[in-house]
């Protein structure tokens, strides 16, 4: 009986830890559209202010310069033209 109580407490603690709710999934922010070379591009950001995401997207659209310290990819065969991350922060450019 003495052993059953600590084991029961341990099992309940593990069950509570496993059943804890996950964090909410937050969609990326819509940062409006930009125009470059007569084409429209949508800008979206996650954990990044829209003015900053738009400035970085404009720099890439004009000069093909990625922001310093960011890791960027250019997916082929999709409307997604640029996807950049830095830690948890993300922004991307979509052809409209």
Structural domain includes residue 9: no
Query: Which residues of the chain have a pLDDT value below 70?
Result: 1-23
Structural domain includes residue 17: no
Q: pTM score, two decimals?
A: 0.72
Distance CA 7, CA 76 (A): 55
**Strand 89-95 vs strand 39-46: parallel, antiparallel, or unpaired?**
antiparallel
Q: Residue 24's pLDDT is what? A: 73
Strand partners, 33: 42
What's the structural domain count of the chain? 1
Distance CA 93, CA 96 (A): 9
Q: Residue 26's pLDDT is what? A: 86
Please give the residue range of the domain that contains residue 85.
Answer: 29-95
Q: Residue 48's pLDDT is what? A: 95
Q: Residue 89's pLDDT is what? A: 95
Structural domain includes residue 1: no
- Give the angle subtended at the CA of 74 by the CAs of 73 and 75, to the nearest 5°: 110
> With the C-alpha atoms ordered 73, 39, 27, 57, is the resulting torsion angle positive or negative?
positive
Instruction: Identify the three-state secondary structure at position 21.
Output: coil
Structural domain includes residue 23: no
Structural domain includes residue 5: no
**Strand 80-86 vs strand 39-46: parallel, antiparallel, or unpaired?**
unpaired
Q: Residue 16's pLDDT is what? A: 55
- Give the angle subtended at the CA of 79 by the CAs of 75 and 46, to the nearest 5°: 75
Q: Residue 70's pLDDT is what? A: 96
């Amino acid at each position: 009986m003495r052993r059953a109580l600590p084991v029961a407490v341990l099992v309940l603690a593990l069950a509570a830890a496993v059943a804890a709710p996950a964090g909410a999934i937050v969609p990326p922010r819509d940062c409006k559209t930009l125009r470059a070379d007569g084409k429209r591009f949508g800008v979206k950001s996650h954990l990044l202010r829209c003015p900053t995401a738009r400035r970085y997207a404009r720099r890439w659209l004009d000069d093909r310069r990625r922001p310093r310290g960011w890791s960027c990819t250019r997916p082929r065969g999709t409307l997604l033209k640029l996807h950049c991350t830095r830690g948890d922060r993300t922004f991307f450019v979509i052809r409209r």
